[in-house]
Structure 1
Amino acid sequence: MFKTDRIRLPLLLLVAVAVLSTGCSDSDTQDVRQESPAVPVILGEAQTRRVELILEQVGTLAANQDVTLRAESEGRVVNIAFQEGREVARGDLLVQLDSERIEAAILSLQARMAELNARLHNQLRTLERNRPLVERNLISQLQFDNLETEILETRSQIDGVQANLAQERTRLADTRIRAPFAGVVGARTLGVGDYLRPGDAVVSVVDLDPLEISFQVPEALKPKLSLGQGVSLRVAAYPQQVFEGVISFIAPRIDISTRTFQVKAQIDNAERLLSPGMFARVEVITDVFEQALTVPWESVIRTEEDTYVYTVEDNLARRVPIRLGRITANWAQVLEGDLAPGAPVILEGKFAARDGMRVAPQTVTPRQ
């Protein structure tokens, strides 16, 4: 019995020492935690600015008018009046076909027309001279009727000659192939002496100003677009240059397979820098926020579950969830979040910060 009590006493003393030691350890840990140094951070600032929401689409430039002229009359090429790749005005002569036979036919028809007109004139005079004679029965009614019939036949012949003359003049005009609109002619593929038949290709003419681009737009943005609205365009050939244009067409129907609608824009090309077939990137401003709240992009932390920034109040980091709008390389628009203009946000040191942690701001760096 006495042996057992002697063993129990040392055990009780050990337990008491352990309890006292544990209490001292927790107190020491709290003191250490309270005295841990603040995390150094560099701050930026939430700012208001004008933010434009921009629709970015791609498309291919095309000419408003691009035609291949074809021969409408048969004949030999006697003159090529254009230089390939040069600008031409509407109505300029491009190619002349041999027209000697047609011109000879026109002269013959004109002579025949003069002859018939002279005959008709004489017949009308004879008819008028004989009108009082038939009234006095000095000539028969049959003779008078024959004169009227001859006049009708002459007039019919005149109508036929006029029709043939108009046809030959049309054929003559077809031997002169002219530019249907102002533009640039394409490559020359024929020479003097070539024989053309109706339908043979002669040369292409392309209208380069303005050019047109077509692109698809999501149906949700249809209320944001209107005819005459400005667009901007960039191409790889001139990466630093922005070309301007306006919306010229908005499709009245939605493509149910893509839930988009077609939009066309006319692009100014007075300097002839752009060419049909170029791949282009189009930008259209769909909305404007004059006083949008933004934060430096460097301050934003994005995870699969959340997007947030750390702001600083009384040297304590505070985690603020946000919802973003437009994002650029330098800043991001804040659509939702407990932030005010001028609020400091952590730029450097954000990944080391925790909600409620003491921080030591080093400087405030304004972001543009």
Structure 2
Amino acid sequence: MTCFPFQPRWRLIDKSPSLVSRIRVLCISLLALTVMSIQATWAQQPPPPVIAARVAVIDWTDPIKALGTLEADESITLSATVTDTVTQINFSDGELVEAGQLLIQLNDTEEQAQLRAARALQDERRNALNRVTQLQERNLSARADVEDNQARLRQASAEADALEARLTNYRLTAPFDGRVGFRDISLGALVTPGMSLVTLDKLDIMQLDFNLPEVYLGQLEAGLSLTATSAAYPDNEFKGEVATIGTRVDPVSRSVTVRAEVDNPSLHLRPGMLMQVTLAPTSREALVIPESAIVPEGQNHFVWQLDEADSNRVSWQEVEIGSRREGEVEIISGLDGGDLVVAHGTERVREGQQPELLGIMDDSTSIAELLRREESR
């Protein structure tokens, strides 16, 4: 039996150039018809409604954000320096006190008696000095007796002053205006040296410490304004400014510590609170558009630009963006100040279309307001 090699049918097709060419022409024709059909469909559709925005030239700052911890501007813990019992407590929990106000009085009865005795001795020696001085003036006493009595008077005065100074250890007063903490002692309690009695914090101005990467050192300076917010008071913004910049950079974290002063007139803030800090460095002039106008494609960014001279015909324009902030983005290149771009409806328009312009948003007119106006017509 004679065997013939099998030749598949596709080899016949592959060997027929004219058939392949006809298939290619047919495919190209079908593609062209499809494109023409789509273009015709687009042409029959009404122009898409859009809302536009102008490229604004404004003062722009790149906010620096950080987390910080609050400390009182002045904060101390009053403690005893002597051993004795409490006889007076002149404050309540959380009370505002003034500088010099007596807070706690310890039993100083014995020391007061010693002071009275010392003052009596001082008076006695002063009288003795006066008598000796009168005698010496009439040459009835030696000059040495006067000097001895003067020395004894000075000694008695010094002892009385020392006792009076020790009496201050029995009186705990507020060294500055502030708010006291909890009262953890009672009348009659025995206190000892070093025992904590009450805390006192100056809260009208707070210190806010936070860390920033060293790359921001060039933008930091004393007096730089900032705002701080807290989860406890989400609707309040607390104003402050940078007071001190740390003199060293942490070699591990590569960060620098910054201390700011924050006004606290309502006394809402407390030491130890966590704050979200936003600094505003020196501003610069920048081109800005709404963030909704940006159409990202991979690593590139585009906008639909409206040509006002050609009935608002749209064109696909690539742009280079810079910094962002809530609702806005900085344009580095690709647009000029005053240009018109599509801010709402970017997904509806196509290259070369002339969309229906519903309005131009600005500082006083938002997209939502323009849409409400269109719905009410």
What's the TM-score once normalised by structure 1's chain length? 0.79
1:127 counterpart residue number = 136
Distance 1:325 1:149 in 2: 89
Per-residue deviation, residues 235-293 of structure 1 (Å, max 9, x unmatched): 11111111112222223443343333222221111111111111111111113245x32
1:101 counterpart residue number = 110
The one-letter code of the counterpart of 1:342 is D
Deviation at 1:180, TM superposition (A): 0.7
Contact 1:234 1:241 in 2 (8 A): yes
Distance 2:24 2:135 in 1: 147
The one-letter code of the counterpart of 1:307 is H
Corresponding position: 1:228 with 2:219 = no
- 5+ residue gaps, structure 1, are 1-10, 132-143
Corresponding position: 1:293 with 2:287 = yes
Alignment counterpart, residue 53 of structure 2, candidates 39, 45, 49: 45
**169-178 or 152-161, which deviates more:** 152-161
Per-residue deviation, residues 304-344 of structure 1 (Å, max 9, x unmatched): 5333334466756424141322232x221112335553233
Alignment counterpart, residue 175 of structure 1, candidates 163, 166, 170: 170
2:324 counterpart residue number = 326
Relative distance call for 1:18 and 1:163 in structure 2 (3 A) is: closer
Relative distance call for 1:80 and 1:316 in structure 2 (3 A) is: closer
Alignment counterpart, residue 195 of structure 1, candidates 190, 199, 204: 190
The one-letter code of the counterpart of 2:242 is I
Q: Secondary structure at the match of 1:116?
A: helix
What's the TM-score once normalised by structure 2's chain length? 0.77
Relative distance call for 1:80 and 1:20 in structure 2 (3 A) is: closer
Corresponding position: 1:309 with 2:311 = no
**180-189 or 28-37, which deviates more:** 28-37
Report percent identity of matched pairs: 23
Contact 1:323 1:337 in 2 (8 A): no
Contact 2:349 2:355 in 1 (8 A): no
Relative distance call for 1:57 and 1:205 in structure 2 (3 A) is: same
Relative distance call for 1:153 and 1:317 in structure 2 (3 A) is: same
2:180 counterpart residue number = 185
1:36 counterpart residue number = 38
Corresponding position: 1:343 with 2:343 = no
1:83 counterpart residue number = 92
Distance 1:344 1:364 in 2: 13
1:63 counterpart residue number = 72
Distance 1:232 1:168 in 2: 51
**Larger RCO: Structure 1 or Structure 2 (Cα < 8 Å, ≥ 6 residues apart)?**
1
Relative distance call for 1:252 and 1:351 in structure 2 (3 A) is: farther
Contact 1:212 1:266 in 2 (8 A): yes
1:280 counterpart residue number = 275
Contact 1:322 1:338 in 2 (8 A): no
The one-letter code of the counterpart of 1:299 is A
Per-residue deviation, residues 216-238 of structure 1 (Å, max 9, x unmatched): 23334334333333221111111
User: Once superposed, what is the RMSD of the aligned Cα atoms?
Assistant: 3.1
Contact 1:215 1:263 in 2 (8 A): yes
Matched ranges for 1:198-217 at <5 A: 198-217=193-212
Contact 2:51 2:361 in 1 (8 A): no
Contact 2:242 2:258 in 1 (8 A): yes
Deviation at 1:54, TM superposition (A): 1.4
